[in-house]
Amino acid sequence: MARKTAATLPLAGEAEWLAQVREVRHPLDPSHPLRVSHRRITSGPRLPQPAIPYPERHPYCEFNFAIEGSGEVFIGMEKVMRKAGHLGLIGPGIPHYGTIVNYPNYGIVVHFLPILLFEMSPNDGARILARFTASQPISRRIIRLPRALRAKFAAQFKSIAHEFDHPKFGSELSMRTRLMDTLVALIQWEESVGKALPYQPVSSNWGRIEKILDFIYHHYTEPLYIEQIAREVGLSSKGLNRLFRGTFGMSCINYLGAYRISHATSLLSQPGVRVTEVSAAVGFETLSHFNSAFRRSKGMSPSEYIRSQAKA
């Protein structure tokens, strides 16, 4: 099949990966809102091969950089050929997948909670968040930077990965600072070359969004209802859903569910754990609800997931 820079995929065939999308587990919380993963693959089975174990989505922002190698990236119903020097931005709830086309292949991925951006000024933070969550083609999510920026971004991503792998006093602050510096540099470059996404300055809703996320992160272990979250921020249920979907591109209840399941998968990976304990620990009121939500997300029951982890 001929490769294209970007193309819309058919509803069958290559797009069947969408039916295999799973929620991934990254134990992020307000005290640890950032996580880094990276690996350099020098050889492997006949190409192409998956760059990640299975198609995924998550309730976080993903910022990644390809340092070596090439492959195809699938996001929603689109695909693009990705090479070294390409930057990737994927928002919460967006299904994505990738394959490796040649070796060696090395990329660095930073996952972070959207609440991290609330440390910035409202307009700056909201503008960066919109860069991840706005509806946009894959050509705006996978970006080839100019040579000068490629070197700068590669150095920043490598520094973040090193700090994550070798934590010391001040590492958390250093990682956050480098991440924000890199995101700001991206927006500034896009502005300078006329590639900035259309953007409307935020209003007082930014404060409400921060309160919503903060409330979810600190109360997800309890039974939560949309009406309850809406009251906390002075909105109606409809107003809350409209605000949340407009900001993150997904409903508040879907974000809450994804956040709970991501923590559940982390707990289920621990030895000697019981499904009933995990169900209660992440805020599900009944075991049957937890089992069905987990199966929809992971394609297997919690008990099957425990057994799969024991074999890994």
Q: For residue 1, tell me if it sits in a domain.
A: no
The pLDDT of residue 5:
35
Residue 177 confidence (pLDDT): 95
Domain for residue 94, yes or no?
Answer: yes
Residue 160 φ then ψ, to 5°:
-60, -45
CA distance from start to end of the chain: 34
Q: Identify whether 49 is part of a domain.
A: yes
Same domain? For 217 and 245 the reply is: yes
Check whether residue 172 and residue 211 sit in a common domain: no
Same domain, 180 and 243: no
Interatomic CA distance for residues 159 and 202, integer angstroms? 32
- Indicate whether 164 and 279 sit together in one domain: no
Residue type present at position 224:
L
Residue 102 falls within a domain, yes or no? yes
109 occurs within a structural domain:
yes
Last residue of a domain, one of 192, 214, 243: 192
Is residue 199 situated within a structural domain? no
Domain-embedded: residue 197: no
Regarding whether 217 and 292 lie in a shared domain, the answer is yes
Residues 108 and 239 in one domain: no
Same domain for 144 and 270, yes or no, is: no
The domain containing residue 123 runs over which residues? Answer: 6-192
- The burial of 60, by beta-carbon neighbours within 10 Å (0-12 exposed, 13-18 middle, 19 or more buried), is given as buried
Question: Could you tell me if 257 and 164 lie in one domain?
Answer: no
Check residue 87 and give its pLDDT.
Answer: 97
For 58, phi then psi, to 5°, come to: -160, 160
My answer on whether 270 and 134 are in the same domain is no
Identify whether residues 247 and 160 lie together within a single domain. no
Is 149 a domain residue?
yes
Task: Say whether both 137 and 258 belong to one domain.
Answer: no
Domain finish residue from 170, 192, 214: 192
pLDDT by residue, tens only, the chain of 312 residues: 333 333 333 333 445 655 666 656 566 777 788 999 998 988 876 656 666 666 888 888 999 999 999 999 999 889 999 999 999 999 988 889 888 888 899 999 999 999 888 878 878 888 899 899 888 999 999 999 999 899 999 999 999 999 999 999 999 999 999 999 999 999 999 999 998 887 766 656 888 888 999 999 999 999 899 999 999 989 999 999 988 888 887 889 988 988 898 888 888 888 888 999 999 999 999 999 999 988 887 778 999 988 887 765
Rounded-to-integer distance, Cα 190 and Cα 199, Å = 13
Residues 169 and 244 in one domain: no
The number of folded domains in the chain is 2
CATH code assigned at 287: 1.10.10.60
CATH classification at residue 153: 2.60.120.280
pLDDT at 23: 58
